[in-house]
Amino acid sequence: MDSGIKRKLSESEMTAITSKAFGQAAIAVKELTDGWANAAYQVMLDDGRLIIVKAAPLASAKLMSYEQGLMKAEVEVLRLVKQMGVIPVPAVYVHDASESIVNCEYFIMEMLDGEPYNKVKDRLTDEQRNQIDYQLGIYNRQLNEIHGERFGLYAANNEANRTWREAFHSLLLGVLADGESEGVRLTEEYDTIRSEVARRLGVLDEVTEPRLIHWDLWDGNVFIKDGAITGIIDFERALWGDPLMEHYFSHFCNTAAFLEGYGITQLTTAEHGRRALYDLYLDLIICIECSFRQYEDVNHLQWTRNNMEQGWQRFLAMSSIS
């Protein structure tokens, strides 16, 4: 997706980056346009190796309040998950936040085999899709079995001693504050949303143990080759919280094969209430971030507005008051 905050790297800047990291020039550079905030490139080195370079927006770029320290978080979580040796993730070669080579933070990682799941899904058989979804359930469960010591964004190291109710509520209020500051019009008044959310936070008290959550694990961040998963990417929005917040439990996904692989048969009433809060949080971000990303695709902008309107009705219908 093209956005106004992506830091595009020139060929000379890319060669400066690869020369420092590998002592080799970048002889072929291809921008990967699927990302929403960071710029990403497939780069061929002199020796024929292919790598991925990701560049963060400039430090002066206007981001949402929860989008702080994202690249550092992505690098650290990738390395953490890689050490587990169970979930396929790319190796990180270099991370540079010094701005000594270019005026933005960047990192270099291994290039995965295959294509994003969302691009090949329609070409796969039902059996292949079910097997992939089942394996995703297994991988997501293994990821969520990593325990943390606090609730909140992985990148927010100064947050501590908060319950999951407090941490999640703070995240959602931050998104609403972002929307108000940008003058984003929502389906409902901001104060009404805050009030209705506050009445339903009690269901979050069931969550007492911080677990690592990818949160942005959707089809576009899963790589597939020959009908099998070759890797999972984009951990920048990782947080410590409730595994039920993962994307594949959302109203966008929630396949039977994923649930079977994860080891869940059905949700309780309270779990449905938690999921309703998480769905609303995602729907709010999808709508409000358009102003920050400076998107120009009118079809996407209309879709986000429609999704927000439907999402608010889903929230009222599915959430439980506690």
User: CATH number for the domain including 84?
Assistant: 3.30.200.20
Residue 161's pLDDT is 67
- 81 & 165 share domain: no
**Which residue among 110, 137, 171 closes a domain?**
110
Q: How many domains does the chain have?
A: 2
- 28 & 44 share domain: yes
Residue 35's pLDDT is 65
DSSP 266-288: ---HHHHHHHHHHHHHHHHHHHH
Q: Is 6 a domain residue?
A: no
Q: What's the CA gap between 146 and 149, in Å, rounded?
A: 10
**Which residue among 57, 83, 110 closes a domain?**
110
- 168 & 258 share domain: yes
- 94 & 177 share domain: no
User: Measuring CA to CA, how many Å separate 43 from each of 4, 17, 30?
Assistant: 22, 11, 6
- 97 & 146 share domain: no
Closest CA to 66 of 177, 150, 148, 164: 177
How many alpha carbons lie under 13 Å from residue 40 in its C-beta half-sphere?
Answer: 16
**Which residue among 73, 93, 110 closes a domain?**
110
How many alpha carbons lie under 13 Å from residue 54 in its C-beta half-sphere?
Answer: 25
The answer to whether 66 and 153 are in contact (CB under 8 A) is: yes
Q: What's the CA gap between 230 and 228, in Å, rounded?
A: 6
Residue 214's pLDDT is 98
- 88 & 193 share domain: no
Which residues constitute the domain of residue 279? 115-318
pLDDT along the chain (322 residues), means of 10: 74 96 96 82 96 91 89 97 97 97 96 96 96 98 97 83 93 97 95 97 96 97 97 96 97 91 92 95 94 82 92 87 60
- 156 & 304 share domain: yes
Q: Is 4 a domain residue?
A: no
- 143 & 275 share domain: yes
Residue 210's pLDDT is 97
- 206 & 305 share domain: yes
- 70 & 209 share domain: no
